[in-house]
Structure 1
Amino acid sequence: MGQLAVRQSVSRPRTIRISFGESGDRARSPMSLLQIEPASSPAPRQPLVHLDALWLQVAGTVCNLRCTHCFVSCGPANHSHTLMSRDEVRAHVEDALALGVRELYFTGGEPFLHPEMSAIMDDCLPLLPCTVLTNGTLFTPGRLAALARASEGSRHSLELRVSLDGWKAEDHDRLRGEGTFERTLAGLVAADRAGLVPIVAVTHAIDEDTDALVGRYQELLRGVGIARPRLKLVPLFRLGREAMRARSYEEPETLIGLSDEALDPERLQCGHSRAVTTRGVYVCPLLVEEPRAHMGARLTDALGSFPLFHGACFTCHRTGMTCANH
């Protein structure tokens, strides 16, 4: 495909419909029918208002778990995005500092699989507030003690954001694997006792009663000794394995046809952040497996506006969701 055709595919998005046959076929073949239709109108464009947050996919798509709702389909054997080197992290952070970035997020995959994660924290925490997104199953006393020392010795905050997808073991384990609820809960308690006061990330359906959800999680966490539960609610995105587990985005779930003027440029996280992997820069951490979301090799290549063509953009716009802590 030539350069002109590539540009056209971004500026004139297309609706992709995925249909499955019988339920038995679904497990054998993820796509039994693929239809691509031209979009009736262009997608609105979101400007980068300011680079507030840089997301670094330090662990690539490598994870010790294989969660059935993972939006980038991470797992032990997924090397779609590889581990970032310490030098790669430094280079992207230096570029981000020059652009006025205010905080860093480290994700994957599972960041604590990275053999240089402690050294990366030593490099970055003196510069900016840092958050590590983790499943909480790889915490050891030594690792938590080192993180606590780093946090205490820095003027910047160090946050651990731990995913917990059910206040009952059967709900969490159904998504993340047998026995993971107890391991994650133990990791949360250990991190809290180390003085790190983790943030608990909870996925939920868009139409779910979040007040009731928060109450159940607070009761669970207080019951295991976490006095100040901190929760981050994250809507389910129909990407990766979640699209296979439930369904992919459907035609009405789109921002295509919405005018630029109808957007609040401050509302969406892609107006305030970018994500980097070993493949380069993406518009956001949700779309690192979407080729059309790749914006270049360096942050300076990714300062322009972006067409909100994806169903995930619809979810962000509808919920006001941001991947950031606040």
Structure 2
Amino acid sequence: MNSLLSPDKFKNPHITAKGENRAQVHFKQLSTVWFNTGSQCNIECVNCYIKSSPTADHFVYLTPKDMAPYLQEVAALCPAPIEIGFTGGEPFLNPHIIRLMEMALEDGHQLLILTNAMKPMMRPRVKAGLLDLLERFPQHITLRISLDHFTAKEHDTERGAGSFNKAIEGMNWLSEQGFSLHIAGRSMFSENEANARQGYKALIEHYNWPIDSDNPAHLLLFPEMDETIDVPEITEACWQILDVSPNAMMCAESRMIVRRKGEDRPAVLACTLLWDDMQFETGKTLKDSLGPVALNHPHCAKFCVLGGASCSA
């Protein structure tokens, strides 16, 4: 692996700065399809990887009409239901969100929703829609709450004063109603993973949330995605050196649907993280998007290959 900072890193999709063959991930199977419901969010986080905010409109709200063809493709490509994920922005700002959820659930899929569990989710109309879907599709809905730290001080440093308490209120409501909950934390803070999990475990036990803090799928601690920090380029040889399989990468099994502002139809991206790098826009249909993905970005190295992280459940 290359590890020295170079202005030539991550330039050529086929060759690294040292002239070695860049690693690629070949499509294996479609396990998760993500739908970015829109880039608008009710808050503006300091380190938001997708640059969401109350005014962000680089991704417009997806509509049922946008989503329907992709669900039809999933049915044609996959022999059984898969995981459908909703991300944003804040998904519960999308005025169609309950119907979008319903469409995925009607097709038998497991639904994973990434949310900050704040005011957009707690509006009476949205709460009523969630409860209706929970009653009709029990055991099919999981909400992953963005809780950057287990203390209000550190969480609010990222998301703004009062954000922690509002998220706790939303999580308490979801827990009381019987929803399946996960937590997404961040590793920007100084404690090691064991200490972080212990801190979250104490918080989870305090509120009696149905979350297994020892299960990495229930409590995800994501590495930071700072493109100014040097990371090695991943070569073909790295798979064996690191004892990591390319089949374990997100882009071997998932794609994300977005609709960019000004575009007349959605597009398919190879990765949920690399939304603003056009080399990772892989087509307009799922079928056309299933080619190999060159790991030509720092996030490929730090988040996925070296960090071992995945957005899917």
Task: Pick the TM interval, shorter chain.
Answer: 0.7 to 0.9
Residue 55, structure 1, aligned to residue 34, structure 2: yes
1:317 to 296, 305, 309: 305
**Alpha-carbon deviation of 1:194?**
1.1
Aligned equivalent of 2:245: 264
Query: Which is further off, 217-226 or 41-50?
Result: 217-226
Inter-partner Cα distance in structure 2 for 1:173 and 1:152: 33
Structure 1 counterpart of 2:172, from 164, 189, 195: 189
Decide whether the 8 Å contact of 1:148 with 1:196 is kept in 2: no
Q: In the alignment, what sits opposite 1:139?
A: 121
**In 2, are the aligned partners of 1:237 and 1:312 still within 8 Å (CA)?**
no
Shift in Å, 1:155: 6.1
**Which deviates more from structure 2 when the two are superposed, residues 150-159 or residues 160-169?**
150-159
Indicate which of 10, 13, 32 corresponds to 1:11.
13
Structure-2 separation of matches of 1:122 and 1:180? 28
Alignment partner for residue 281 of structure 2, among 294, 304, 316? 294
Kindly report the root-mean-square deviation, in angstroms, between the aligned alpha carbons of the 2 structures: 2.3
d(CA) in 2 for partners of 1:123, 1:237: 33
Question: How many equivalent pairs are there?
Answer: 285
Deviation at 1:234, TM superposition (A): 3.2
Residue of structure 2 in register with 1:66 after alignment = 44
Instruction: Give the TM-score of the pair, scaled to structure 2.
Output: 0.83
In the alignment, the residues of structure 2 paired with residue 97 and residue 80 of structure 1 have an alpha-carbon distance, to the nearest angstrom, of 29
1:259–1:200 distance in 2 versus 1, CA, 3 Å = closer
Give ranges in structure 1 of 5+ residues lacking alignment.
Answer: 1-8, 15-37
In the alignment, structure 1 residue 214 sits paired with structure 2 residue 214: no
2:58 alignment partner, SS class: coil
Distance 1:195-1:43 versus aligned 2 partners, 3 A rule: same
Aligned amino acid, residue 256 of structure 2: A
List alignment gaps of at least 5 residues for structure 2: 1-10, 261-266
Q: TM-score, normalised by structure 1?
A: 0.80
Other-structure match for 2:269 = 282
Matched-pair contact (CA < 8 Å) for 2:87–2:114: yes
Helix, strand or coil at the partner of 2:256: strand
Q: State the percentage of identical aligned residues.
A: 24
Report if the CA contact (8 A) 2:181-2:210 is conserved: no
Q: CA deviation at 1:266?
A: 2.0
Is residue 24–residue 236 contact of structure 2 (8 Å, CA) maintained in 1? no
User: Is contact 1:126–1:156 with CA below 8 Å preserved after alignment?
Assistant: no
The structure 1 segments of at least 4 consecutive aligned residues displaced by more than 4 Å after TM superposition are 205-208, 227-230, 259-263
SS in structure 1 of the partner of residue 248 of structure 2? coil
